[in-house]
Amino acid sequence: MDKFIIHGGIPLKGEISVAGAKNVALKILVASILTDEEMVIHNVPQIRDVFFMLEVLKVLGVASTVTGHTVRVVNKHKEHAKVPLEVGARLRTSSMVMGPLLARYGEATTPNPGGCRLGARPIDRHVDALQEMGASITYHSDDGYFYGKANGLHGATIRFAKNTHTGTETIILAAVLARGQTILENAAEEVEIDDLIACLNQMGAKIRRESPRKIIIDGVSALHGTDYSIMPDRNEEVTFAIASVMTGGDILVRNSQRQHLDAFLQMFTKAGGRHEAINNTSTRYFHDGLLHAANVVTASYPGFMTDWQAPWAVLMTQAKGVSTIHETVFESRFSYVSELKKMGAHIEFFDPPVDNPEAFYNFNWGDRVLGYHQGIRITGPTKLHNAVLEIDDLRAGATLILAALSAAGESVIHGVEQVDRGYENIEERLRSLGAKIERTKEE
């Protein structure tokens, strides 16, 4: 177990490159099950979730070699189609192997990925859709595994009742080798999905996004290997943009994806943040005056993503006035609030009025537990002070780092392994911008 010690109050300045997207890398690694040929994947971030996924794949017979940011994966043979609980439970995306395993081998046993502190996080939409393609999947609550069988998956017209990002990808990963055509309606629009599609098409799949929320997949009999470079991580860029403004700094972000950050940039500009396009792939983030309160409602792409609301909250502690955040995708994604309050932030929970919550929210309304709130109200500006903080999920972790970087004095942050799940070598990269941040072992 590691902790970070951060001396805040230093404006972050300089250049930083955004790493490859976690939420693409994990899915493209899963695609290795679909072919017997080698895949060479470039721009893979060296983060814990990637290494956890490589362990999941290893039990399934996929060998890997990591050289810097290039990962070579080859599906040697089917050792068995079961992911043991102790390997699979480390990351939610381990459940995504179910589609490819069913498509190729007709069987899959995967552990219930469970909740990742953002709420219940069930996979009912994935399971229902795979069943529509001919799979039979039963959940055994006594051992916590899903047992799947299929006598050759077939295409189907599937309409997700609600948006699901990884659900959309799971079905794409199954449908590429299914018999016939699969039509996915109400498919998620995240650009990371399109990067996965581009990679699969390069492997010989036939997938097209017919309209923003409709994806058509024509099954093929086999996929071949490929050499693919994954897109940069949009969530990292947002983190660095906020880091710049929070610390009164000036950061040039390389490998910028600002063309896919409209919803963020709109709010950022409204709140007083500034950005300047230096060239196609470089964006400068800074601010030159007061920050203003703003209200955000999270949504799936192309809306203001749920992954951005935690770092956004810390930015709003510095804005003049009352800001609100209405979280609509996950039922419990405010774990960082108690920690920010330790630093002096003025934040209170509230329940935004919603006419038909069952239809409105992206999560299953029934998964909500007494005491959850979907909104927070932040009153600012507040000068944050140092504190001893505890991280309990990835984006919340990045948020606490941002808060500590801008706060006066020395903060200690425990549980940094959560940040290592999604941000590569964050402390060294922040140090290159002038931050005073050290990693030490917990005693």
For ligand EPU, the binding residues (CB under 6 A) are 23, 26, 93, 119, 121-126, 163-167, 190, 300, 305-307, 329-330, 362-364, 394-395, 422
Q: What is the 3-state secondary structure (H, E, C) of 51-112?
A: HHHHHHHHHCCEEEEEECCEEEEEECCCCCCECCHHHHCCCHHHHHHHHHHHHHHCEEEEEC
Instruction: Compute the least distance from the CB of residue 164 to ligand EPU, in Å.
Output: 4
Instruction: Tell the smallest beta-carbon distance from residue 305 to ligand EPU (Å).
Output: 6
Sequence length of the chain is 443
Nearer to ligand EPU, 240 or 330 (CB): 330
Nearer to ligand EPU, 23 or 182 (CB): 23
Q: What are phi and psi of 40, to 5 degrees?
A: -115, 115
> Which residue, 121 or 287, has its beta carbon nearer to ligand EPU?
121
Q: Which amino acid is at 228?
A: Y
Nearest of 223, 275, 284, 280 to residue 253 by alpha carbon: 284
Q: Which lies closer to ligand EPU via its Cβ, residue 203 or residue 396?
A: 396
Q: How far is the CB of 442 from ligand EPU (least distance, A)?
A: 23
Q: What is the 3-state secondary structure (H, E, C) of 22-41?
A: HHHHHHHHHHHHHCCCCEEE
Query: Is 250 or 307 the residue whose CB approaches ligand EPU more closely?
Result: 307
In this structure, the number of other CB atoms found within 10 A of the CB of residue 276 comes to 10
366 contacts: CB under 8 Å, gap ≥ 6: none
Residues 6+ apart with CB under 8 A from 356: none
Phi-psi group of 255: left, alpha or beta (phi > 0 → left; psi -120 to 50 → alpha; rest → beta):
left
Nearest approach, Cβ of residue 156 and ligand EPU (Å)? 16
Taking the complex as a whole, how short is the minimal distance between the CB of residue 361 and ligand EPU, in angstroms? 8
Among candidate residues 5, 85, 116, 412, the one labeled active-site is 116
199 part of the active site: no
Residues labelled as active-site residues? 116
